[in-house]
Every structure is written in C-alpha cells, then in structure tokens.
Amino acid sequence: MEESCRPGSCFPWQRSTIPSLFKIVVVLGVGHANPTDEGGLDSFAGAAYLLKQGRNPLFASHYVSSLKSLQANLIRGIETEFHREVEHFQYRVTSRTTKNTKYRFENKESSHRARSFMFLSYAAVAAATRGMSDIFICENGVLSLNIPISDARKGTRSTRHAHPLFLQYFNQFINALYGRAFSVHNPFQFWTKAQEAKFLEKSNLHSLIKDTVTCWGYPNQTLKYPNSNHCGYCIPCIVRRVSVKAAGLAAYDDQYVIDVFNLKPNAPEKYSRNIEDLIYFCQSIETFSNTELIYRYPEFVMADFGPPNGTQDRISKAISVYRKFAKELLSVADKDSTRPLYSASSPLSAIGLVPS
C-alpha cells in the first residue's frame, strides 16, 4: 500500500463536508481497469445514474498508471454536467515493493482475483466511517453474472467481480464485521452495457465515453499505442465495442488496436479466440429456449441471489439481458465482419441450429 494511503494517516473520507440525505458510497471504477478488471464505462454510467436520482454519493476509485488523471477528468465532466461538486477519493494499492517502504508485503498476489473484495472493502470502511449504509458497485448484467462462454472458461476461469452471490456474501460479511446493516447494490444487474451507453447519452455525457477505460490489457498491452487505451480483442473490449455501437454511439468511442471483425488470415490465435467463443455463445443464447439455456448454462440460476428488491423471476430477467446482448453482438458482427460468422465447424451447424 502506498504511503499516502496507509491506515490512520490521511483518509479523506473521514471529514464530512456535504450533508448526506441519501447516504451512499459508490465503488467507482471510472476509467479504472487494472489488468483483470472490467469497469470504466459502467461505473461512469453508474455515477450519472445515482446523481440523477438525487443522491449524494461519495465516489471511491482505485487507480493504476495514468488512470488517476483520467478519473479526475471524468469526475470534472460529471460536475460540469450536474452543476455541482461531488466527493471523490482515489487510492492505490500495489503488490510491488518499493524501496524503504514500511509496509512490505510478505507474498505477492498477482492474480487480481481479490480486486473486488479490496474495492468493496475500501467502500465499506468509508461507509462505516461516515455512517453511510448503501454501497454501490455498477456492472452490466452480462459481465456481472458472467456466464462462462465456453466449457474452458468454467469455474475460476471466469471472473465473479460483481456477481450477485459474491455481493450477497460480502454484504453479510460487513454486516457481521461492523455489527450493523449495510446494503450492497448493483443497479445495472438487469441492464445491458448498450443501455448504459444510451443512458450516458440521455445524460449528455456520451462525449466522455472515449475517456473511460474498459480493457483488461490496460496499461501493459496498450501503452505502446499512443492513440488507444483498448486492445480490442479481450472480452471487455469486445463487449464494449459492440455495446457502444449498438447504442449508436460508436463515434464517441475510443479506437481499438485490434479489429477482431477484420483479422488477417495469419493473425495470432489470441486475437480470434474471444470473438469466436462469444459468437458461438451468442448463437446459443439466441437459439435455445430458457429451459434449454438453464440446462446448458446452469450458472444462470445464480442470478437468483441478491437483496430482496421485489424483482420477480430474476433468472428469466437475466436471460433476457443476455438475449438482448446476443442480438446486439450478432448484429454488429454481421455488419462489421469480413469473415463468415457461422463456420461449418460450429457445433450449432452440426446439429442444424445455425440461424439462416
């Protein structure tokens, strides 16, 4: 942990300057994308969504590399649009050891699997210190449930950073730890990313979409490209590109280093693997009934976890979000791709289920 963030020294959230009618703290990944984190656009939309509700949030964001200034710029954009100041604190935790640090880690954890636990933990400390009760982490329904798009991605191969079961467990954990009731929410559990992009347009914030960062590979894979923060071939990049285009906002998006819909025949396999798996997965989503989908992807039943919110049949709602996304992806791929989408080797072709 950096000196500037060590416990007990200078946590900025300890001083309350704005009286909170709606006491919430928001885990804000505005422009945040550590090597395995999807965020940025979802969190930026989440910030606008909560302010539009008249809430008075405290935003918390972790940063790496140049994201600190990107995050600050996005917050300024929000303040300009909403004609008000917002509270925002930034922090950085790294497993890298620096010279003469007092807080040297004994072991290095480099998988980033615990990142959401860390983000939410910071939010919980801030909420507890301020007497806040609601904690928001904003993630679209597809990547929060994150159904494994192929058998090779089952289990720990697919991130659960904003999964409803994880959020429920975390909620129970901090309730027990602090001895009082918190509520951990994901307001976009049943939204697609395209809906979030449309919401940003409605909020007149769409011109800032290009400044949010979503890529799994940022900054390591993108630093060598001066005009882009997005590799183009990781799953979050593909989901973002498709969603922003489906929302009719491609002109406001960042550039993508690799165009997965127009790869050269000799392109490395890593560039084509994700889009091919996604296309196959989306074909399945479009083709099968709800019952068949639950049989094929039993992870859909996990959508039923979360705080009681009056939502009926969360599993059907989650499938419906996936169907919307599948339609968007296949439609954008159909328009943008120079390669055949439905290969003869597709298992869907083999059983005669390829859409005509």
Among 138, 200, 213, 237, binds Zn ion (CB under 5 A): 237
Q: What whole-number distance in Å separates Cα of residue 295 and Cα of residue 27?
A: 34
Minimum Å gap between C-beta 274 and Zn ion is 9
Minimum Å gap between C-beta 218 and Zn ion is 7
* Piece of the chain touching Zn ion by CB under 5 A; list 148-156, 232-240, 266-274, 330-338: 232-240
* Piece of the chain touching Zn ion by CB under 5 A; list 110-118, 196-204, 228-236, 348-356: 228-236
Minimum Å gap between C-beta 13 and Zn ion is 31
Instruction: Give buried/exposed letters for 280-291 (b at 16+ CB in 10 A, else e).
Output: bbbbbbbebeee
> Does 217 help bind Zn ion (rule: CB under 5 A)?
yes
* Piece of the chain touching Zn ion by CB under 5 A; list 134-142, 237-245, 277-285, 339-347: 237-245
Instruction: Please say which residue, 162 or 237, places its beta carbon nearer to Zn ion.
Output: 237
Instruction: Please say which residue, 89 or 225, places its beta carbon nearer to Zn ion.
Output: 225
User: Exposed, middle or buried: residue 72 (CB in 10 Å: 0-12, 13-18, 19+)?
Assistant: middle
> Does 31 help bind Zn ion (rule: CB under 5 A)?
no
> Does 231 help bind Zn ion (rule: CB under 5 A)?
yes
Backbone angles phi, psi at 183, to 5 degrees: -130, 115
Residues of span 196-215 touching Zn ion by CB under 5 A: 215
Q: What whole-number distance in Å separates Cα of residue 106 and Cα of residue 116?
A: 21
> Does 244 help bind Zn ion (rule: CB under 5 A)?
no
Please tell me the count of residues contacting Zn ion according to CB under 5 A: 5
> Does 257 help bind Zn ion (rule: CB under 5 A)?
no
Residue (of 143, 144, 236, 239) closest to 184 by Cα position = 144
Contact between 243 and 193 (Cβ < 8 Å): yes
Residue (of 152, 105, 132) closest to 25 by Cα position = 132
* Piece of the chain touching Zn ion by CB under 5 A; list 55-63, 158-166, 227-235, 336-344: 227-235
Instruction: Please say which residue, 37 or 196, places its beta carbon nearer to Zn ion.
Output: 37
Instruction: Please say which residue, 258 or 330, places its beta carbon nearer to Zn ion.
Output: 258
Amino acid found at 163: H
DSSP bridge partners of 89: 60
219 preceded by a cis bond (ω within 30 of 0): yes
User: Exposed, middle or buried: residue 310 (CB in 10 Å: 0-12, 13-18, 19+)?
Assistant: exposed
Minimum Å gap between C-beta 279 and Zn ion is 17
Q: What whole-number distance in Å separates Cα of residue 50 and Cα of residue 237?
A: 25
> Does 306 help bind Zn ion (rule: CB under 5 A)?
no
> Does 242 help bind Zn ion (rule: CB under 5 A)?
no
Q: What whole-number distance in Å separates Cα of residue 39 and Cα of residue 23?
A: 23
- The neighbour count for residue 80, using CB atoms within 10 Å, is 12
Torsion of CA 325, 326, 329, 331, to 10 degrees: -110
Instruction: Please say which residue, 237 or 321, places its beta carbon nearer to Zn ion.
Output: 237
**Strands lying side by side in the sheet with 134-137:** 87-91, 58-62, 24-27, 134-137, 183-185
Minimum Å gap between C-beta 40 and Zn ion is 11
> Does 39 help bind Zn ion (rule: CB under 5 A)?
no
Minimum Å gap between C-beta 237 and Zn ion is 3
Minimum Å gap between C-beta 240 and Zn ion is 8
Minimum Å gap between C-beta 230 and Zn ion is 5
Instruction: Please say which residue, 174 or 275, places its beta carbon nearer to Zn ion.
Output: 275
Among 208, 234, 278, 321, binds Zn ion (CB under 5 A): 234
* Piece of the chain touching Zn ion by CB under 5 A; list 45-53, 94-102, 233-241, 292-300: 233-241
CA distances to 7, 110, 149, 185 from 168, rounded to whole Å, are 26, 25, 24, 9
> Which residues of the chain form contacts with Zn ion (CB under 5 A)?
215, 217, 231, 234, 237
